[in-house]
């Protein structure tokens, strides 16, 4: 009976070790919150423009992190295209940034889906980790002073109306 108990205990401890080691392997990011200032960042968009925290200052802005194989991102990106089409002409600045999703994959997905908004394909998580440690899509809606006023993630994936009303509240 003692042997059986010891084996079970060892199996449980081993499983706990494996699970905890996987959790610790996740990148540790900033996990910004509403009211925080946008971190210092700079990315080159696929159209050649450079977007940075300094460049977003003075405009209401949207920063979105995505990966084209993420089902929730695939749900959110067409909504973001609608938001972009409506709000970019009104002066809202956008930075759609991939999280570990290379140029070739992002470009293929954009073409396949008919998306027209500029994006920045990132091969790593360096920029993403300045904002968060987990979860995509991740959408930050920011005021003209670079202060985060709304954050949307995959829980739940934001509806068009959620993003729309957030932007309207800041544009007034």
Q: Which domain holds residue 122?
A: 30-171
| CATH number where 88 lies | 3.40.30.10
Angle between the 71-87 and 160-171 helix axes, to the nearest 10 degrees? Answer: 40
Tens digits of residue pLDDT in 94-107: 999 999 999 999 99
Task: Answer yes or no: is 20 within a domain.
Answer: no
Residue 31 binned pLDDT confidence (cut-offs 50, 70, 90)? very high
Closest CA to 61 of 40, 21, 90: 90
Neighbours of 41 (CB within 10 A): 19
Task: Answer yes or no: is 60 within a domain.
Answer: yes
Q: Between β-strands 61-66 and 93-98, what pairing exists: parallel, antiparallel or unpaired?
A: parallel
Task: Answer yes or no: is 39 within a domain.
Answer: yes
Contact (Cβ atoms closer than 8 angstroms) between residue 120 and residue 95: yes
Q: Phi and psi at residue 30, in whole multiples of 5°?
A: -80, -30
pTM of the model: 0.82
Task: Answer yes or no: is 165 within a domain.
Answer: yes
Distance CA 124, CA 73 (A): 17
Task: Answer yes or no: is 107 within a domain.
Answer: yes
Tens digits of residue pLDDT in 53-73: 999 999 999 999 999 999 999
Distance CA 70, CA 8 (A): 37
Looking at the structure of the chain, the number of domains it has is 1
Q: Between β-strands 119-120 and 93-98, what pairing exists: parallel, antiparallel or unpaired?
A: parallel
| Six-digit token string for 155 | 């829980």
Task: Answer yes or no: is 8 within a domain.
Answer: no
Residue 123 binned pLDDT confidence (cut-offs 50, 70, 90)? very high
């Amino acid at each position: 009976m003692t042997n059986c108990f010891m084996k079970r205990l060892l199996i449980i401890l081993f499983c706990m070790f494996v699970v905890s080691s996987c959790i610790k392997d996740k990148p540790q990011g900033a996990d910004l919150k509403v009211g925080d200032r946008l971190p210092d960042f700079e990315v080159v968009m696929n159209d050649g423009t450079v977007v940075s925290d300094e460049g977003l200052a003075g405009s209401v802005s949207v920063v979105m992190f995505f990966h084209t194989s993420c089902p929730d991102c695939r749900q959110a990106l067409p909504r973001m295209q609608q938001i972009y089409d409506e709000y970019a002409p009104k002066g809202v600045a956008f930075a759609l940034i991939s999280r570990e999703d290379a140029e070739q994959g992002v470009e293929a997905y954009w073409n396949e889906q008919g998306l027209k908004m500029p994006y920045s394909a990132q091969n790593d998580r360096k920029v993403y980790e300045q904002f968060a440690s987990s979860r995509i899509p991740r959408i930050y809606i920011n005021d003209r002073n670079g202060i985060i006023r709304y954050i949307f993630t995959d829980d739940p994936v934001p509806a068009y109306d959620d993003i729309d009303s957030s932007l309207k509240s800041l544009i007034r």
